[in-house]
A and B are shown apart, each in its own frame.
Chain A
């Protein structure tokens, strides 16, 4: 009866776990956590984003433990997250205060503050660099030295902590409607189960925790055919945001009493999406709507896809699955989708036996005979 034998399950399972450890160690090399942190930035960012926990150290341990399997690492982080009491919430951040490392706009060539390319794969050729095969620590230090000396003479009068938003410019020009602040306290989706229809705060949380691949695919579907939106990236920013917490003993709500608790590095995207608005007497008008995407670390594709989906779900066009909040929000979580798919590996012999009984009842003794086929 294979792995559902009445006795012996325990022994087999322990051996399987040993075997797994063997797979991790059989190469006789150990990756130190600081090496993962130094060299696996993309993975760490993705694990923190999907794991919904900002800690490079924990992400690095999870990546090591999971042998680089992202779904497994995210799973570890999320499970750990469940054991942490949620005692405080950070204050609202104005993302204008971001210390910007990279900032581009596809809408305007010349934006106030200028385009800042920062670090990106976008401008590289994806050719495997065979020199990396025998890169040494000396090479690395030497390169760093020369890089730093070349960059030290640069100066600029741009304040990287106070860059204006491209969307603010459009608002000032009267090209997009300015909307008031929505000061409603956001719902914490990890404390309260989502109920439909959802609020935007819930949607944004689910989207930003979503599996990178799933968010990208659904965003792509909306872009390609299902809704055929064609958004323009108004502004994409990478940088760090300072986080503050209210002094729990002093509720006077003064900014200067807040505690600074650290920075998070994020990707933030605002896309402009043209919408046709029906006016009186059959006239139509084009308006711009804004889609918003944000995620931990540098993950530009996910953030852009998120901004598309944010806009799709705001519209809620019933013709497209990508605009259906249940379809999108209930299926993009890594832990949920990988968990349920993988549960198919569990024995199902009670349920299957039950189905067999129905099969036999409906077939009334008839059998599929191989000879007749």
Chain B
């Protein structure tokens, strides 16, 4: 009973169903469209929402890039890439500018995206109000009634308790003036990249069975108060120890011997590109510098 899989894993009917949900999501920016999420060969919670979007969209001419927490070679990114390769055989790349579909977990690449690209974000908890209201039935109503007092109160309470908003990643955003949306847990640093993005941004939550979208050139505002403005993570006076970049999201690396912290670009492909572009570093191997 040997059986081979269809192109891009799913049967064509399933792909069409998922695309229909994605189209609806594009038509209603920020609204979470329920869809019949399939079980995937990778675990629920490991990017199955993003993977379903990618596999439903991918064609033979696409070039795919997969990143996990900024890295092309992180375990999960490798795993997802392998599955896509196995079931589609499409070209893969690590260069952000070369990819037509970029699936990412928890980061938007540092290199600005263009109109030809689709960014697919993997989402664990798509409901921005879940922290304040555990019931799906109720949060659906709150969205319908445009009642986001819970989200505002959460931020307000943080200010009262800690003196500033203390959201980590996943700081809620308002999309096109209507729906409050969980930007998947991208760091606050990436929130500003959502607004008026040239690329279509699709967000997929497999376990929670929701698809939502930020269409190109759509206004996305991070929730904040006039007197307590939204602030991204601070990497002031820090620069990448490898490529020297500043004003990018960085990983904090602790030196085993000295215990001192140093910083390097979180977006590994950006870091590599910067290195390759600098004149004195043509063809250098990134690993030699670490």
| Chain A residues close to B by CB (< 8 Å) | 1, 3-10, 13, 57, 75, 78-79, 81-86, 189-197, 326, 330, 335-336, 338-343, 346-358, 361-362, 364
A-B contact pairs, 6 of them (CB 8 A): A4-B71, A335-B43, A353-B251, A354-B185, A362-B162, A364-B163
A6 touches B136 (CB 8 A): no
Cα A78 to Cα B233 with chains together (Å): 40
Task: Say whether, besides A85-B11, A192-B36, A343 and B69 are in contact (CB < 8 Å).
Answer: no
**Which residues of B pack against A, CB within 8 Å?**
1, 5-6, 9-11, 13-14, 17, 34-41, 43-46, 48, 68-71, 73-79, 105-107, 124, 134-137, 140, 162-164, 166-170, 185-189, 207, 209-210, 233-234, 249-253, 266, 268, 271, 286-287, 290
Give CA–CA (A10, B78) in the complex, Å. 7
Provided the pairs A4-B69, A193-B37, A330-B136 are in contact, do residues A342 and B74 lie with their beta carbons within 8 angstroms?
Answer: no
Contact of B5 among A83, A189, A340, A364 (CB under 8 A): A83
For A336, the chain B residues whose CB sits under 8 A away are: 44-45, 207
Q: What are the residues of chain B within 8 A of A358 when measuring CB–CB?
A: 162, 164, 166-168
A364 contacts across to B, CB distance below 8 A: 163
A340:B124 contact, CB within 8 angstroms: yes
4 extra interchain contacts, Cβ-Cβ under 8 A, other than A82-B40, A340-B44, A340-B124? A7-B73, A57-B1, A350-B169, A355-B169
Q: Within the complex, which residue of B43, B137, B210 is in contact with A326, where a contact is CB–CB below 8 Å?
A: B137
Q: Is the CB of A354 within 8 A of B188?
A: yes
Contact B36 A79 (CB under 8 A): no
**Residue contact B69 to A350, C-beta cutoff 8 Å:** yes
What separation, in Å, do the CA atoms of A7 and B17 have in the docked complex?
37
Query: Across the two chains, which residue of chain B brings its CB closest to A12?
Result: B75
| Contact pick for B35, options A4, A193, A197, A355, CB 8 Å | A193
Task: Output the least CB separation between B59 and chain A (Å).
Answer: 19
Known: A6-B73, A84-B11, A362-B163. Is A351-B106 also a contact (CB below 8 A)?
A: yes
Known: A343-B45, A350-B266. Is A193-B187 also a contact (CB below 8 A)? Answer: no
Least Cβ distance of A327 to chain B in Å?
8
Q: Which residues of A contact B48 (CB under 8 A)?
A: 339
What is the minimal beta-carbon distance from A139 to any residue of chain B, in angstroms?
32
Q: Which residues from chain B contact A355 at a C-beta distance below 8 Å?
A: 168-169
Q: Which residues of A contact B187 (CB under 8 A)?
A: 350-351, 353-354
Minimal beta-carbon separation of B68 from chain A (angstroms): 7
Check A7/B286 contact, CB under 8 A, given A82-B39, A193-B34, A197-B137. Answer: yes
Q: Let me know if A354 and B169 touch, CB within 8 A.
A: yes
A342:B166 contact, CB within 8 angstroms:
no
Contact of A343 among B38, B43, B164 (CB under 8 A): B43
Decide yes or no: A83 and B11 within 8 Å by CB, A75-B39, A340-B44, A351-B106 being known contacts.
yes
Give, as a whole number of angstroms, the nearest-CB distance from B213 to chain A: 16
Tell me the bound Cα distance from A350 to B136 in angstroms: 27
**B73, A9: Cβ atoms under 8 Å?**
yes
A78-B39 CB under 8 A given contacts A336-B207, A354-B169, A357-B234: yes
Taken together as a complex, chains A and B put the C-alpha atoms of A81 and B40 apart, in Å, by: 9
**Which residues from chain A contact B271 at a C-beta distance below 8 Å?**
6
Whether the pair A83, B6 counts as a contact (CB closer than 8 A) is: yes
- A232 CB to closest chain B CB, in angstroms? 32
Q: Which residues in A have their C-beta under 8 angstroms from that of B73?
A: 5-10
A3, A342, A355, most chain B CB atoms within 10 A: A355
CB of A6 within 8 A of CB of B69, answer: no
Whether the pair B46, A361 counts as a contact (CB closer than 8 A) is no
